[in-house]
């Protein structure tokens, strides 16, 4: 089979990314320009600013991905770009640029669902390691800032099919991490900071009522399609964010939070020691307890779904899959179930374009190219 190089472009949220992937199984280059610094003062992604930053970064990021790969605009075989879901204005920057390139270069253009990309991050890296023995069906937990979704993934004659069997009812897991970090004065994005601070607190110190989340599931759960005996495997994380807020109020933590927010605001690139110096024991205990509750809920629902659908393999992917405690606990729990669990490496857990180029490869082989009039789909579902 001739070597095939696909140039992937990703701009769905706050990272401008481009990558070259060979034969859907080797990351030849992977460039990610993060906008954290732009959005940090606002405690979350500002869509208008995200689009502007993508517009500034896209040309240098694509040039660097090609140069790092030893490729040129002319030498790559096809282009792939994220169509959705994501911020409409942000997606349009990547799509417009990819269309212009494809048109000028007379190369095929492939439109990729961002969520499918996250699933292919795992497949890409397993193939890269030489693991071609994955057993199906696969249950994929896509857990990021915008999504907490469970998909059954199957491959038929080279093309992939997905069935959603669980989703978040309100906030996504990464969103809960970001909101809790913001309300504790820890800055943005919250996930990586909470990940590093949680091992310094007592995860049993604060009890969060997971039963609330389960009750919410039952109320909405029955009668929906894709349920086993009326049970869906949905997630709900707005309750825990409110519970953390209540805890902060009833334990009079506001003034220490304000002091931390101000101190961190004046520190460029704070290190874990800076955060630890600004967090007392009750705060670290709260952080550890929040993380333990999130990890336990994500794992228990995924394992319950894996049992109900009798899957053979679990994938965990998306930004929150970078979390250390989630990885370790998942590995233990899945081993108990006798199920293999696969994660992408940390750089491929968060948004990147290698996963977009990898997801595009089966579509390239099937000649499933995007028409030139396709547009961004902010709320794009994965089927």
Q: Which is nearer to ligand KG4, 8 or 189 (CB)?
A: 189
Which strands, in side-by-side order, build the sheet including 109-113? 26-34, 15-22, 5-10, 78-84, 109-113
Q: Which two tokens stand for residue 214?
A: 């389960």
Q: What's the min distance (Å) between Cβ of 119 and Zn ion?
A: 11
Residue showing tokens 């208008």: 48
Q: Would you say 54 or 107 has its CB closer to Zn ion?
A: 54
**108 or 166: CB nearest Zn ion:** 166
Kindly state the smallest distance separating residue 349's Cβ from ligand KG4, in Å.
Answer: 7
Minimum distance from residue 175 beta carbon to ligand KG4 (Å): 6
71-101 in b/e form (b: 16+ CB < 10 A) is beeeebebbbbbbbbbbbbbbbbbbbbbbeb
Site for ligand KG4, rule CB under 6 A = 13, 144-146, 174, 177-178, 189-192, 195, 318-320, 322-323, 350-351
CA dist 315 and 121 (Å) reads 10
Exposed (0-12), middle (13-18) or buried (19+): which is 219, by Cβ within 10 Å?
A: exposed
Which of 380, 351, 294 is CA-nearest to residue 30? 351
322 binds, among ligand KG4, Zn ion, none (CB under 5 to 8 A by kind): ligand KG4
- Does position 113 interact with Zn ion (CB under 5 A)? The reply is no
Q: Which of 87, 351, 360, 382 binds Zn ion (CB under 5 A)?
A: 351
DSSP 57: H
Q: How far is the CB of 189 from Zn ion (least distance, A)?
A: 12
Shortest reach from residue 249's CB to ligand KG4, in Å = 23
Task: Report the residue number, 5 or 315, with the smaller CB distance to ligand KG4.
Answer: 315
> Shortest distance, CB of residue 277 to Zn ion, whole angstroms?
32
CB of 269: closest distance to ligand KG4 in angstroms? 16
Binding-residue total with Zn ion (CB under 5 A): 2
Q: Considering Cα of 98, then 86, then 146, then 216, what sign does the dihedral take?
A: negative
Of 42-50, 95-103, 141-149, 162-170, the window that binds Zn ion (rule: CB under 5 A) is: 141-149
For 328, residues 6+ apart whose C-beta sits below 8 A from its C-beta are: none
302 binds, among Zn ion, ligand KG4, none (CB under 5 to 8 A by kind): none
**Residue 21's beta-bridge partner residues?**
6, 27
Measured distance CA(309)–CA(229) in Å, rounded = 11
Nearer to ligand KG4, 77 or 261 (CB): 261
CA 174 from chain centre, in angstroms, equals 8
Q: Which one of the spans 103-111, 171-179, 231-239, 344-352 is the region binding Zn ion (CB under 5 A)?
A: 344-352
* Nearest residue to Zn ion on Cβ basis: 144
Could you say which of 144, 236, 283, 302 contacts Zn ion (CB under 5 A)? Answer: 144
Bridging pattern class, strands 341-342 and 313-317: parallel
Q: Which does 350 bind (CB under 5 to 8 A by kind): Zn ion, ligand KG4, none?
A: ligand KG4
Helix or strand or coil: residue 313? strand
42 burial (CB, 10 Å; 0-12 / 13-18 / 19+) is: exposed
Q: How far apart are CA 185 and CA 197, in angstroms?
A: 13
Residue with smaller CB distance to ligand KG4, 322 or 356 = 322
**71 or 323: CB nearest ligand KG4:** 323
User: For the purposes of burial, counting CB atoms within 10 Å of the CB of 61, is it exposed (0-12), middle (13-18) or buried (19 or more)?
Assistant: buried
Burial of residue 49, with CB atoms counted within 10 A of its CB: 0-12 exposed, 13-18 middle, 19 or more buried: middle
CB of 171 to ligand KG4, least distance (A): 10
Stretch that binds Zn ion, among 105-113, 138-146, 204-212, 265-273 (CB under 5 A): 138-146
């Amino acid at each position: 089979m001739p070597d095939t190089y696909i140039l992937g472009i990703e701009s769905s949220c706050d990272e401008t990314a481009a990558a070259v992937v060979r034969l859907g199984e080797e990351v030849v280059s992977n460039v990610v320009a993060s906008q954290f610094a732009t959005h940090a003062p606002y405690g979350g992604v500002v869509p208008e600013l995200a689009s502007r930053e993508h517009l500034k970064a896209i040309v240098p990021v694509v040039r660097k991905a090609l140069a790092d790969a030893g490729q040129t605009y002319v030498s790559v075989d096809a282009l792939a770009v994220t169509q959705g879901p994501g911020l409409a204005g942000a997606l349009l920057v990547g799509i417009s640029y990819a269309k212009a390139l494809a048109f000028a270069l007379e190369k095929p253009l492939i439109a990729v669902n961002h969520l499918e990309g996250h699933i292919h991050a795992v497949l890409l890296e397993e193939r890269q390691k030489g693991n071609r023995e994955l057993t199906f069906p696969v249950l994929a937990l896509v857990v990021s800032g915008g999504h907490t979704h469970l998909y059954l993934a199957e491959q038929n004659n080279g093309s992939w099919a997905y069935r959603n069997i669980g989703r978040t009812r309100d906030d996504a897991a990464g969103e809960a991490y970001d909101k809790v970090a913001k309300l504790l004065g820890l800055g943005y994005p919250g996930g990586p900071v909470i990940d590093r601070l949680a091992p310094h607190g007592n995860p049993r110190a604060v009890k969060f009522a997971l039963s609330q989340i389960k009750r919410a599931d039952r109320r909405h759960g029955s009668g929906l399609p894709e349920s086993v005996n009326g049970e869906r495997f949905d997630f709900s994380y707005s309750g825990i964010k409110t519970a953390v807020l209540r805890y902060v109020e009833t334990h009079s933590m506001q003034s220490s939070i304000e002091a931390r927010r101000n101190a961190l605001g004046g520190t460029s690139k704070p290190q874990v020691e800076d955060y630890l110096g600004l967090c007392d024991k009750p705060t670290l205990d709260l952080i550890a307890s929040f993380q333990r509750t999130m990890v336990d809920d994500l794992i228990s629902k995924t394992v319950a779904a894996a049992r109900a659908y009798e899957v053979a393999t679990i994938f965990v992917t998306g930004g929150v899959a970078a979390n250390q405690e989630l990885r370790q606990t998942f590995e233990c729990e899945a081993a108990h179930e006798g199920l293999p669990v696969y994660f992408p490496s940390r750089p491929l857990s968060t948004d990147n374009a290698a996963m977009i180029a990898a997801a595009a490869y089966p579509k390239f082989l099937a000649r499933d190219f995007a028409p030139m009039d396709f547009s961004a789909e902010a709320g794009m579902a994965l089927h």
